[in-house]
Chains A and B, each alone.
Chain A
Amino acid sequence: MQIQTGLDAGVEGALLKAEVRDLDFYYGAFHALKRVSMPIYDHKVTALIGPSGCGKSTLLRCFNRMHDLYPGNRYAGGGIVFHPDNTNLLAPDVDPIEVRMRISMVFQKPNPFPKSIYENVAYSLRVRGMRNKSELDDRVELALKGAALWNEVSNRLQELGANLSGGQQQRLCIARALASDPEIILFDEPTSALDPIATASIEELVTELKEKVTILIVTHNMQQAARISDFTAYMYLGEMVEFGVTDQIFIKPQKKATEDYITGRFG
């Protein structure tokens, strides 16, 4: 897609990590994404905003092929090109498992497995065939530190993940997503089930994480998008209305529709 003027300042020095190109997606007969295009910049936080049902979560779930789990879902044209290897993540010959090994995800509601804290994080490593105990220990510790959870759980790694508080559970899920060194982490409204304090800690974490990984986040909360993202995409009714540097989108949106949504006149 054509990158809009006013974007250059923010894009300077940022490399493309992925590009959504003219993506069409259907749930059965419902046309959920309509020729959506947008860039994802490396080591940046990109936020997807828009009213409920606008397709932002649908777009997010294309990135790790979650839609493949359910019958009737169809990628109907275009794709998501992953850089630097130029793989189209949605190509039929690309294994969804390969895609999920490169792009991990944090869900709306914390969903730790009913296993120990340690096993929750180690699981992403185990599916990648890691068996060496000391290597697993190191990587689990690193991931828990990366998710700012290590200090709280280091002396109770064998307890159930479900015994943690909601905010801690979500950070555990972030540690799980982080453990395997993914190239992108997808966040699907990660704070919508959390209280304000837990939300603040997750937001802080997300901004720290972009040193290590590219982040794509769906959020209902516009202040959140403004606080933590470098780029923002506004979607409406399955279409990409506007994409730009976050400051520009929030201060000086190019489109009337974006301005209406952001100022609360609509949505």
Chain B
Amino acid sequence: MLQATDLNAIRAIITRAKRWDLFFSILGVLSLMVGVLTFTVLFVDMAIQGVPRLTLDFFTSFPSRRAANAGILSAWVGTVLVMLVTALSAVPLGVAAGVYLEEYAPKNWMTDIIEINISNLAGIPSIVYGLLALGLFVYYFGFGQSILSAGLTLALLILPVIIVATRESIRAIPQSIHEGSYACGATTWQTVSDHILPYSSAGILTGVIIGMARAIGETAPIITIGALTFIAFLPNAPFAGDPPAGLFDWILAPFTVMPIQMFNWTSRPEAEFQINAAAAGFVLVFMTLAMNGLAIYLRYQLRKNIKW
């Protein structure tokens, strides 16, 4: 009899304690919804406004004074080329820096200071990078208001993201694998190229794409270095035109990018341009989501064969 009473008491305690589980899970769902719902509403609203505008002409037309004729040709080509320069410069630099810090750097106060600085770099407002780039790339190196300047600026911006992602993926490799390689008589470089880089490539790639997804939407630093807001021509394709363009002539061409094109249209008073802006925004978000999707897919593919 006494035992039965005890059992009821225990059940009451459990029920009371479990209320907190319920409370917290409701709180958690609500917190989650704030972010997810906000984005969904924004995205759906943009899609409703913009999707009807997404005809082939929209992608193959230059901006125009008349909203119905305006398109995003120069913007998306500019975005793709700037991203290309960003990726080609930021990935080798970021991965090399990350590998150096993890595998080669002596553990001393100098390295500590460098590490703290890298974390700080990730928190610097992007417009400050724009100012730096204006002085350094546009004027000092004389690259002008070009695709090269913009690509390098965004590369600086995402460099800390790539370095941190590289270091974290390297640290995720078990110490025993690391020691196993050295115990076979491998040098540090052999260990890095045969083990560290292949095993961490999935994580590095994820970091790179997340960095790129951030860079694709950056507007402030690009405006700071003086990207044009209205541009009705494309950079010269290699070997096209008369006289034929060089392989890398496009790199010094003036350009615009998607977020600037959007910004330009939203600042117009006409309602038609707002629809263009929504359509461009939809394309931009789609590009970002596609990049994230690619990151997830590649990570899955690369991790399939890696088991510790």
Among the listed B176, B178, B184, B305, which residue makes an inter-chain contact with A176, where contact means beta carbons less than 8 Å apart? B184
Among the listed B106, B107, B184, B308, which residue makes an inter-chain contact with A114, where contact means beta carbons less than 8 Å apart? B308
What 0/1 readout, one digit per residue, does chain B (174-188) give for beta carbons within 8 Å of chain A?
101111111111110
With A69-B182, A71-B106 as given contacts, are A111 and B176 in contact (CB-CB < 8 Å)? yes
Closest Cβ of chain A: how far from B306's Cβ, in Å?
Answer: 4
What 0/1 readout, one digit per residue, does chain B (97-113) give for beta carbons within 8 Å of chain A?
00000000011000000
- State whether the Cβ of A205 lies closer than 8 Å to any Cβ in chain B: no
> Which residue of A123, A162, A163 has the most chain B CB atoms within 10 A of its CB atom?
A123
Please give, as numbers and ranges, the residues of chain A lying within 8 Å of B265 by CB-CB distance: none
With A111-B177, A113-B195, A114-B199 as given contacts, are A105 and B183 in contact (CB-CB < 8 Å)? yes
Compute how far the CA of A66 lies from the CA of B194 in the bound complex, rounded to whole angstroms.
19
Compute how far the CA of A205 lies from the CA of B187 in the bound complex, rounded to whole angstroms.
29
Please give, as numbers and ranges, the residues of chain B lying within 8 Å of A97 by CB-CB distance: 185-187
Please give, as numbers and ranges, the residues of chain B lying within 8 Å of A34 by CB-CB distance: none
- State whether the Cβ of B40 lies closer than 8 Å to any Cβ in chain A: no
Is the Cβ of B199 less than 8 Å from the Cβ of A107? no
- Of all chain B residues, the one with the shortest Cβ separation from A106 is B183
Interface residues of A in 120-176 (CB under 8 A from B): 123-124, 126-128, 160, 162-163, 173, 176
What 0/1 readout, one digit per residue, does chain B (181-225) give for beta carbons within 8 Å of chain A?
111111100100011000100000000000000000000000000
Compute how far the CA of A104 lies from the CA of B184 in the bound complex, rounded to whole angstroms.
6
Is the Cβ of A124 less than 8 Å from the Cβ of B308? no
- State whether the Cβ of B66 lies closer than 8 Å to any Cβ in chain A: no
Is the Cβ of A160 less than 8 Å from the Cβ of B305? yes
- State whether the Cβ of B65 lies closer than 8 Å to any Cβ in chain A: no
Compute how far the CA of A176 lies from the CA of B199 in the bound complex, rounded to whole angstroms.
19
- State whether the Cβ of B307 lies closer than 8 Å to any Cβ in chain A: yes
Please give, as numbers and ranges, the residues of chain A lying within 8 Å of B195 by CB-CB distance: 113
What 0/1 readout, one digit per residue, does chain A (225-241) give for beta carbons within 8 Å of chain B?
00000000000000000
Is the Cβ of A162 less than 8 Å from the Cβ of B308? yes
Is the Cβ of A66 less than 8 Å from the Cβ of B187? no
- Of all chain A residues, the one with the shortest Cβ separation from B199 is A114
- State whether the Cβ of A180 lies closer than 8 Å to any Cβ in chain B: yes
With A127-B190, A162-B308 as given contacts, are A100 and B185 in contact (CB-CB < 8 Å)? yes
Number of A-B contacts (CB under 8 A): 66
Closest Cβ of chain A: how far from B125's Cβ, in Å?
Answer: 36
- State whether the Cβ of A7 lies closer than 8 Å to any Cβ in chain B: no
- Of all chain A residues, the one with the shortest Cβ separation from B194 is A123
- Tally A residues with Cβ within 8 Å of B: 27
Closest Cβ of chain B: how far from A114's Cβ, in Å?
Answer: 4
What 0/1 readout, one digit per residue, does chain A (97-113) give for beta carbons within 8 Å of chain B?
10011001101010111
With A111-B176, A123-B194 as given contacts, are A66 and B182 in contact (CB-CB < 8 Å)? yes
Closest Cβ of chain B: how far from A188's Cβ, in Å?
Answer: 10
Compute how far the CA of A112 lies from the CA of B307 in the bound complex, rounded to whole angstroms.
10
Closest Cβ of chain B: how far from A156's Cβ, in Å?
Answer: 15
- Of all chain B residues, the one with the shortest Cβ separation from A109 is B176
Is the Cβ of B307 less than 8 Å from the Cβ of A114? yes
Compute how far the CA of A176 lies from the CA of B180 in the bound complex, rounded to whole angstroms.
10
Please give, as numbers and ranges, the residues of chain A lying within 8 Å of B190 by CB-CB distance: 127
- Of all chain A residues, the one with the shortest Cβ separation from B176 is A111
Is the Cβ of A124 less than 8 Å from the Cβ of B176? no
Is the Cβ of B179 less than 8 Å from the Cβ of A66? yes
- State whether the Cβ of A64 lies closer than 8 Å to any Cβ in chain B: yes
Compute how far the CA of A163 lies from the CA of B306 in the bound complex, rounded to whole angstroms.
11
> Which residue of B107, B177, B186, B306 has the most chain A CB atoms within 10 A of its CB atom?
B186
Closest Cβ of chain A: how far from B192's Cβ, in Å?
Answer: 13
Among the listed B106, B179, B185, B194, which residue makes an inter-chain contact with A128, where contact means beta carbons less than 8 Å apart? B185
Interface residues of B in 218-256 (CB under 8 A from A): none
Please give, as numbers and ranges, the residues of chain A lying within 8 Å of B179 by CB-CB distance: 66, 69, 107, 111
With A107-B176, A109-B176, A160-B305 as given contacts, are A127 and B183 in contact (CB-CB < 8 Å)? no
Compute how far the CA of A177 lies from the CA of B179 in the bound complex, rounded to whole angstroms.
13
Closest Cβ of chain B: how far from A7's Cβ, in Å?
Answer: 31
- Of all chain A residues, the one with the shortest Cβ separation from B173 is A114
Compute how far the CA of A71 lies from the CA of B107 in the bound complex, rounded to whole angstroms.
7
Is the Cβ of B185 less than 8 Å from the Cβ of A180? yes
Among the listed B106, B199, B307, which residue makes an inter-chain contact with A160, where contact means beta carbons less than 8 Å apart? B307
5 contacts between A and B (CB under 8 A): A100-B182, A100-B185, A126-B194, A127-B185, A180-B184
The list of the 8 closest CB pairs from A to B, nearest first, reads A162-B307, A111-B176, A101-B185, A105-B183, A100-B185, A114-B306, A111-B180, A71-B107
Sample of 16 further A-B pairs with CB below 8 A, known A101-B185, A113-B181: A69-B179, A97-B187, A100-B183, A100-B184, A104-B185, A109-B176, A111-B177, A112-B180, A114-B307, A123-B194, A126-B194, A127-B190, A128-B185, A160-B305, A160-B307, A176-B180
